[in-house]
Amino acid sequence: MIDMTKLADLFCGLGQVSFHFARHLMSHQNHADFHFLVKGKQENLWGYQVKKHQTNLLKRHFSALNSGFDIWHAIHQDSAFIPAKGKTKVVLTIHDLNFLQEKSPRKAEKRLKRLQKKVDRANALCFISNYVRQEAEQYLKINHQLIRVIYNGVPVLDEEQTKPQLAPKRKFLFNLGVLMPKKNHEAIIRMMKHLPEYDLLIGGGGNAEYKKALEDLVAELGLESQVYFSGSLNEAEKSWAYHHAEAFVFPSLNEGFGLPVVEAMSAGLPVVCSKLTSLPEIGGDQAVYWNDFNPKTMANVLRQGLSEFLGDSNASEKLKHYASRFSWKKHVDAYMKLYSEILID
C-alpha cells in the first residue's frame, strides 16, 4: 500500500512527488501487487490500473483498519494514516523537518513527538537528502537497520513552451518557488538594484501577505519595471522560463532537497543559490553559491558566475549531464530494491 493522498493537491510539492512516483511504478507493475490510498473521487492520474482504497475517518483513527499488507509506504512524514503494529512492514519517507524553524517551540515539539511515533513504527526510513538524514538524527531517536537516502527525481521538462502572460521583455533571471518567507525572495529583489541590465521573473503562488510585502519592497526600491510576479506557472510556461532565462536564482533559507535547482540544470541553465541546508549537496560543484545576502555582493557573485559559464562552451551540457543523475526511474528503482530487502529481512 502506498499513500497517494497528496495527489489530491497535484501542484503542491508532495503532489508532484506522488504523481511521478505513481507514473514510474508502471515499469514494475508486473512485479508487485500495488494498492494506492487515495482521497474520495480522486482521478486516475497515473495512467494504469491499480487497486484504490479511499480514506475515511475510521482509517485515520483506528490503525488496525490499515493492516493486511506486506508493506505500507508513507511517502511523506505528514501522512495521517499508518497501520497498527503487526506483520505489515512500514517504510517512512522523511522530506524535511522545516517545522522546527517555521512553528512555535510548543507546536514544533508537538509535531516532533508525532513524527517520533511514526519513526518508532517504521521498519525502514528514507530521506530525500543526506542533509535531512543528519537533521533527523539530531532531533529524533533513530535505531533502524534499514536507512536509505534516496534523492527525489526530476521530471523531464515539457517540450511545449508557452511564454507567461507576465514576462520580461529584456534578458532576465528566473526564480521559482512558493511565495513564503523561507524562500527569501527579498534577497534577490534587493540584488536587482545592482543589476540594472537584467529583469527578474518570480514564478509561484503562495502567501498573499508575503507577496504584498514583496510588492511593497519592489515599489520602495523603484524596481516596478524590473521585477515581475507571474503567479503559478503551468508546465509549458515553466519550461519556457527555464529555457529563456540567463540564470536561475534561488536564495532559499531552508530546503530538504531543492528540486528547482536540478530542474534548471536539466535545461542547461546556470544556477546561483544559497549555501544553506541541502542546497550544496544537491547543486554540487555545478552551482554557484552566495556566502551571504549582501545585495551588492550577490550581484557580483552572479556576474562572475555567468562570466565563467559563458566562457565554457560545454557548460550547458555539463549541467544537463549532472542533472540526469536525479531521475524518477532511479528513484522508484531504489524503492523497489528496498521493498525487496524489507520482505527478506
What's at 119, amino acid-wise? V
Q: Quick one: pLDDT at residue 270?
A: 98
Confidence bin at 132 (pLDDT 50/70/90): very high
Q: Quick one: pLDDT at residue 253?
A: 95
What's at 112, amino acid-wise? L
* CA terminus-to-terminus distance, the chain: 18
CB 264 within 8 A of CB 242: yes
CB 281 within 8 A of CB 130: yes
Rounded to whole angstroms, the Cα distance separating 31 from 240 reads 38
Confidence bin at 42 (pLDDT 50/70/90): confident
Average predicted confidence (pLDDT) for the chain: 93
Confidence bin at 184 (pLDDT 50/70/90): very high
Rounded to whole angstroms, the Cα distance separating 328 from 337 reads 14
CB 339 within 8 A of CB 290: no
Nearest to 222 by CA among 192, 200, 245: 192
Rounded to whole angstroms, the Cα distance separating 231 from 203 reads 5
Q: Quick one: pLDDT at residue 252?
A: 96
DSSP letters, 98-160, are THHHHS-HHHHHHHHHHHHHHHHH-SEEEESSHHHHHHHHHHS----SEEEE-PPP-PPPPS-
Q: Quick one: pLDDT at residue 44?
A: 81
- Percent of the chain exceeding pLDDT 90 equals 80
Q: Is the pLDDT of residue 91 over 90?
A: yes
Q: Is the pLDDT of residue 156 over 90?
A: no
Q: Quick one: pLDDT at residue 144?
A: 79
Q: Quick one: pLDDT at residue 320?
A: 96
Rounded to whole angstroms, the Cα distance separating 31 from 336 reads 9
Arithmetic mean of pLDDT, 82-108: 93
Q: Is the pLDDT of residue 257 over 80?
A: yes
Confidence bin at 113 (pLDDT 50/70/90): very high
Helix H or strand E encompassing 24: helix 13-24
| pLDDT, tens digit, 9 for 90 and up, residues 286-325 | 999 999 999 999 999 999 999 999 999 999 999 999 999 9
Q: Quick one: pLDDT at residue 8?
A: 82
pLDDT higher at 70 or 156: 70
- Percent of the chain exceeding pLDDT 70 equals 99
Cα distances from 8 to residues 41, 72, 85, 167, 290, in angstroms, run 9, 19, 28, 30, 36
CB 237 within 8 A of CB 230: yes
For 292, residues 6+ apart whose C-beta sits below 8 A from its C-beta are 298
| pLDDT, tens digit, 9 for 90 and up, residues 215-252 | 999 999 999 999 999 998 988 999 999 999 999 999 99
Q: Quick one: pLDDT at residue 46?
A: 79
Q: Is the pLDDT of residue 104 over 80?
A: yes
pTM of the model: 0.90
Per-residue DSSP letter, 161: -
Q: Is the pLDDT of residue 155 over 90?
A: no
| pLDDT, tens digit, 9 for 90 and up, residues 114-128 | 999 999 999 999 999
- CA angle 89–21–145, rounded 5-degree value: 35
